[in-house]
Amino acid sequence: MKIGLFIPCYVNAIFPQVGVASYQLLKKLGLDVDYPIDQTCCGQPMANAGFEDEAKKLAMRFESQFEKYDYIVGPSASCVSFVKENYPRVLKKEKHLCESIGKIYDICEFIHDVVKPNSLNASFPHKVSIHNSCHGVRELFLSTPSEMNIPYNNKLRNLLNLVNDIEIFEPKHIDECCGFGGMFAVEEQAVSTAMGRDKVKDHMSTGAEYITGADGSCMMHMKGVIDREKWPIKTIHVVEILNSEG
Amino acid sequence: MSTAHSKAAEKFLKNSQQAEWHNETLWMVRAKRDKLSKQVPEWEELRNNAEALKLYSSSHWVELLTEFEKNAIANGAVVHWAKDAQEYREIVYQLLSERNVKNFVKSKSMLSEECELDDYLIERGIDTVETDLGECILQLMKLPPSHIVLPAIHIKREQVGELFEEKLNTEKGNFDPTYLTHQARKYLRQIFLNADASMTGGNFAVASTGEVVVCTNEGNADMGTAATDFHIAAFGLDKIVPDRESLGVFTRLLARSATGQPITSYTAHYSKPKKNGEFHIIIVDNGRSEILGNEEHRKVLNCIRCGACMNTCPVYRRSGGYSYSYFIPGPIGINLGMAHAPNKHAGNLSACSLCLSCSMVCPAKVDLGEQIYKWRQKLDELGESNTTKKILSKGMKLVMDNPALFNAALWAAPMVNKMPRFMVYNKLNAWGEGRDLPQFASESFNSMWKRNKVQLNDNKKDNE
């Protein structure tokens, strides 16, 4: 199977190491991975701000970039779910049938559901608190939404359980929003910051050294709070942990 | 780039102690709801049934509402139809003035808030008293509700104590909740005894029996209707349910979702007038049939007004009911405000991080978050879009549509890291008010890939 690596714009610019870890992890798992160059953005920032039409051309470009791959895999649950949830409708306006939705996965979802490794040969001797991000939880079901009455499962936890020497925690408000929300973070800066502070404090109360999750954008937001407050906790993408040396 | 909501929210958060209390108190209600809902094994099935029943009922208003009317008339009730708030107010006023009613008691009805009934009647000389404790406190304070189920949730007991000292002559400085509740009860008891007529809303209207079902915890609706011989019940078109069996689905969901109780203390079925009394029912449209015609948004009519979406909403909890321009706040209020008067309430649309907790918590599966996203797409068309946001989005599109420009931006971005702090952190940077900015990496992933650094790393490891 041929995998096209999807590196969202902010990962490209701010967290390239997450892209590197994603590529390496998939390679370690023995997969055929390629990075179609000239990717830019999925269009979510504009669309969430109310300008979905600005994403039409980006969606068309995305489709052609990943046309030749069996799977599209990216280290950002929110961007992946944006493509999944909205591209079919956006592309319908262009009279184009969306092909990406059937084959796009968040990288954790992909490893958990498709690759299904029994071991990872990774080690991370630290306490981590899982950040169950909104779109990862409520659109991709990476973990069971806390609102629902079905047995709890958490794909990130299942994967992290394969890592040696790690201690895993989850915050009390297990999947409450960190307040990022794209343009929301600036348009509603006061509420957004309050949400970010509460979320980081909740993660810290677990005793964790790291906040980890499948969405770098949430991590970016919480890091903004942590750096401002100089709080004793760090952020790390879950892929970096899964790719850590055993 | 701030909106009407974000400005009000910022003000609310200034009182950090009160804001924190508000957030935690409402989260406790959400937690109670979680606990109770998880005691019902078929909870998700109930939600599916509620959704299906509401969609069925909404698409059969004509049949179900005429069936309701026929049965209600057969029970001895008088049925009125009001196309809008004005007609509703006029019908109520006419009924009361014809019978020379001076003292009118009401139990909680969000429809009467929507149609601004109380002031209309009071201006015309009818003493109209809200008898739900929360609503009663707010009426004495001359304030609107800040939550649909817990209307006075934002008021602390000290404020209630001071209000009662002034209005009800209670002991000075006694803020004991039990004492204050007893005093309110004494005050309301006199009002009930002197009342000439009573009014209730309706949580549900059962087509097959012609009953109006009212769910309360305080029993004030029952006190009012028991103390008077003249009862008016009013509800919106969307309250109709086919039969008692379907009603059971909703009564199982309502209180668990609203307050984390298995059922409300009182669930009254009103079907016929008292002996020598009168029972009038007003069925109100006030924009509902227009919402039904709006394919993208008709599902808001599924709402059973439980308030669970408010309790779970991280924005509502941290901004309070008064930060929204519509009289119903939170996710459902954002949507109902837009459905009723989009230009008036567009300023609420920013109050959502699209976390979608509301959609997941809703017992009737209203797609609240998804609908807010859809409304945002209409802002430009409505002439309500924010210029900065528009320029940002267009600018972003320009860069993202063009890989060469994107790569140039990736190359240039790290320079921002080195800019002096005063140039980056100032009034123009809303992010920077309470958070540090992310640092751009010294080399982007694209550049690393092009220079074979990603692949090389990997090969190096393979060789080791």
Q: B422 and B343 in one domain?
A: no
Confidence check: pLDDT of B10 > 80: yes
Asked if the Cβ–Cβ distance from A181 to B6 is below 8 Å, we say no
Å between A128 CA and nearest CA of chain B: 21
Contact between A128 and A169 (Cβ < 8 Å):
yes
List of chain B residues whose C-beta atoms are within 8 Å of the C-beta of residue A195: 314-315, 318, 353
Q: Residues with Cβ < 8 Å from B86, sequence gap 6 or more?
A: none
Residue B9 to residues A190, B19, B110, B323, B332, Cα–Cα distance (Å):
7, 10, 23, 6, 17
**CA R_g for chain A:** 17
A54 in reach of chain B (CB within 8 A) = yes
Q: If residue B279 lies in a helix (H) or strand (E), which one and from where to where?
A: strand B278-284
- Out of A123-137, B363-377, B392-406, least confident range: B392-406
Q: What is the mean pLDDT of residues B150-178?
A: 96
List of chain B residues whose C-beta atoms are within 8 Å of the C-beta of residue A189: 6, 10, 430-431, 433-434
Contact between B40 and A149 (Cβ < 8 Å):
yes
Point out the residue among B1, B445, B449 whose CB comes nearest to the CB of A186: B1
For residue B91, give both structure tokens.
Answer: 């019908």
Looking at the DSSP bridge assignments, the partners of residue B389 are none
Q: B127 and B110 in one domain?
A: yes
Q: Residues with Cβ < 8 Å from A165, sequence gap 6 or more?
A: A123, A124, A125
**What's the rounded Cα separation, in Å, for the pair A158 and A119?**
11
Q: Which of the two residues, B400 and B419, has the higher pLDDT score?
A: B400
**What's the rounded Cα separation, in Å, for the pair B126 and A47?**
51
Please say which residue of B336, B358, B385 terminates a domain: B385
Predicted confidence at residue B182, as pLDDT, reads: 96
Q: B52 and B28 in one domain?
A: no
**Within-domain flag for B219:** yes
Please say which residue of B325, B355, B385 terminates a domain: B385
Confidence check: pLDDT of A220 > 90: yes
Residue type, A51: F
Asked if the Cβ–Cβ distance from B350 to A188 is below 8 Å, we say yes
- What are the φ and ψ backbone dihedral angles of A21, each rounded to 5 degrees? -60, -40
Q: How many other β-carbons are positioned within 10 Å of the β-carbon of residue B123?
A: 9
Beta pairing class for B211-216 and B266-270? antiparallel
Query: What is the DSSP-derived secondary structure letter of residue B436?
Result: P
Interface confidence (ipTM) of the complex:
0.96
**Within-domain flag for B104:** yes
Residue type, B408: A
Query: What is the DSSP-derived secondary structure letter of residue B204?
Result: E
Å between A82 CA and nearest CA of chain B: 11
**What's the rounded Cα separation, in Å, for the pair B145 and B152?**
6
Point out the residue among B27, B448, B458 whose CB comes nearest to the CB of A27: B458
B360 in reach of chain A (CB within 8 A) = yes
- Out of B206-210, B239-243, B290-294, B396-400, least confident range: B396-400
Q: What is the mean pLDDT of chain B?
A: 94
Q: B229 and B84 in one domain?
A: yes
Percent of chain A whose predicted confidence (pLDDT) is above 70 = 100
The count of structural domains within chain B is 3
Task: Give the DSSP letter string of chain A.
Answer: -EEEE---HHHHHH-HHHHHHHHHHHHHTT-EEE--S-----SHHHHHTT-GGGGHHHHHHHHHHTTT-SEEEESBHHHHHHHHHHHHHHHHTTT----GGGTEEEHHHHIIIII--S----B--SEEEEE--HHHHHTT-SB--TTS-S---BHHHHHHTTSBT-EEE--SSTT---S-TTTHHHHTHHHHHHHHHHHHHHHHTTT-SEEEESBHHHHHHHHHHHHHHT-S-EEEEHHHHHTS--
Domains contained in chain A, CATH given: 2-115 (3.40.50), 127-242 (3.40.50)
Q: B355 and B422 in one domain?
A: no
Q: Is the dihedral of CA B112, B118, B124, B125 positive or negative?
A: positive
Predicted confidence at residue B268, as pLDDT, reads: 97
Å between A55 CA and nearest CA of chain B: 7
Categorize the per-residue pLDDT at B457 as very low, low, confident or very high, splitting at 50, 70 and 90.
Answer: low
- Taking only the tens place, the pLDDT of each residue in B314-327 is 999 999 999 999 99
Residue B453: domain span: 402-463
**What's the rounded Cα separation, in Å, for the pair B134 and A75?**
48
Q: B134 and B233 in one domain?
A: yes
Confidence check: pLDDT of B396 > 90: no
Residue B266: strand, helix, or coil: strand
- What are the φ and ψ backbone dihedral angles of A210, each rounded to 5 degrees? -130, 145
Tokens 């008293």 correspond to what residue? Answer: B129
**Within-domain flag for B64:** yes
Contact between B443 and B411 (Cβ < 8 Å):
no
Asked if the Cβ–Cβ distance from A185 to B431 is below 8 Å, we say yes
Q: B123 and B206 in one domain?
A: yes
Categorize the per-residue pLDDT at B195 as very low, low, confident or very high, splitting at 50, 70 and 90.
Answer: very high
Confidence check: pLDDT of B462 > 50: no
Name residues 76-115 of chain A within 8 A of B (Cβ).
none
**Within-domain flag for B395:** no
Q: What is the mean pLDDT of residues B46-61?
A: 98
Distance between start and end Cα atoms, chain B: 53
Asked if the Cβ–Cβ distance from A177 to B357 is below 8 Å, we say yes
**Within-domain flag for B409:** yes
Contact between B386 and B1 (Cβ < 8 Å):
yes
For residue B408, give both structure tokens.
Answer: 């140039």
| Residues B232/B235/B239/B241 CA torsion (nearest 10 deg) | 30
Task: Give the DSSP letter string of B365-396.
Answer: ---HHHHHHHHHHHTTTTT---HHHHHHHHHH
Asked if the Cβ–Cβ distance from A187 to B449 is below 8 Å, we say no
Name residues 412-431 of chain B within 8 A of A (Cβ).
413, 430-431
**Within-domain flag for B90:** yes
**What's the rounded Cα separation, in Å, for the pair B71 and B209?**
6
Asked if the Cβ–Cβ distance from A147 to B312 is below 8 Å, we say yes
Confidence check: pLDDT of B461 > 60: no
- Taking only the tens place, the pLDDT of each residue in B336-345 is 999 999 999 9
A5 in reach of chain B (CB within 8 A) = no
**Within-domain flag for B235:** yes
Q: B224 and B75 in one domain?
A: yes
Å between B266 CA and nearest CA of chain A: 26
Predicted confidence at residue B414, as pLDDT, reads: 86
Beta pairing class for B211-216 and B204-206? antiparallel
Point out the residue among B38, B434, B453 whose CB comes nearest to the CB of A228: B434
Q: Which of the two residues, B426 and B256, has the higher pLDDT score?
A: B256
Predicted confidence at residue B107, as pLDDT, reads: 95
**Cα angle B453, B459, B461; round to 5:** 105
Q: Is the dihedral of CA B458, B459, B460, B464 positive or negative?
A: positive
Point out the residue among A14, A145, A194 whose CB comes nearest to the CB of B440: A14
Å between B157 CA and nearest CA of chain A: 25
Categorize the per-residue pLDDT at B147 as very low, low, confident or very high, splitting at 50, 70 and 90.
Answer: very high
Q: How many other β-carbons are positioned within 10 Å of the β-carbon of residue B101?
A: 21
CATH code at position B19: 1.10.1060
A13 in reach of chain B (CB within 8 A) = yes
Best interface-test mutation with B: which of A6, A10, A12, A140 has the largest number of B CBs within 10 A?
A: A12
For residue B161, give both structure tokens.
Answer: 């104590």
- Taking only the tens place, the pLDDT of each residue in A106-162 is 999 999 999 999 999 999 999 999 999 999 999 999 999 999 999 999 999 999 999
Q: What is the mean pLDDT of residues B250-261?
A: 98
Å between A171 CA and nearest CA of chain B: 14
Q: What is the mean pLDDT of residues B447-461?
A: 76
Which of these, B238, B234, B359, B236, lies nearest to B301 by C-alpha position? Answer: B238
- What are the φ and ψ backbone dihedral angles of A144, each rounded to 5 degrees? -70, 125
A234 in reach of chain B (CB within 8 A) = no
SS3 content of chain B, % helix, strand, coil (to 5): 55, 10, 35
Return the residue of B nearest to A135 by Cα: B355
- Taking only the tens place, the pLDDT of each residue in B91-134 is 999 999 999 999 999 998 999 999 999 999 999 999 999 999 99
Asked if the Cβ–Cβ distance from B385 to A45 is below 8 Å, we say no
Q: B329 and B273 in one domain?
A: no
Contact between B454 and A29 (Cβ < 8 Å):
no
SS in 3 state form for B407-430?
HHHHHHCHHHHCCCHHHHCCCCCC
Which of these, B138, B133, B265, B254, lies nearest to B187 by C-alpha position? Answer: B133
Which of these, A156, A164, A10, A140, lies nearest to B406 by C-alpha position? Answer: A10
Confidence check: pLDDT of A214 > 90: yes
Asked if the Cβ–Cβ distance from A50 to B380 is below 8 Å, we say yes
Chain centroid to CA B278: 32
Confidence check: pLDDT of B456 > 70: no
Å between B406 CA and nearest CA of chain A: 7
Query: What is the DSSP-derived secondary structure letter of residue B1?
Result: -
CATH code at position B276: 3.40.50.10420
Q: B93 and B128 in one domain?
A: yes
Q: How many other β-carbons are positioned within 10 Å of the β-carbon of residue A201?
A: 14
Contact between B256 and B36 (Cβ < 8 Å):
yes
A121 in reach of chain B (CB within 8 A) = no
Predicted confidence at residue B463, as pLDDT, reads: 42
Q: B242 and B362 in one domain?
A: no
Predicted confidence at residue A116, as pLDDT, reads: 98
Å between A169 CA and nearest CA of chain B: 20
Q: B451 and B369 in one domain?
A: no
Return the residue of B nearest to A51 by Cα: B377
Q: What is the mean pLDDT of residues A195-200?
A: 98
For residue B450, give both structure tokens.
Answer: 């092009």
**Within-domain flag for B393:** no
Point out the residue among A50, A57, A224 whose CB comes nearest to the CB of B379: A50
Categorize the per-residue pLDDT at B455 as very low, low, confident or very high, splitting at 50, 70 and 90.
Answer: confident
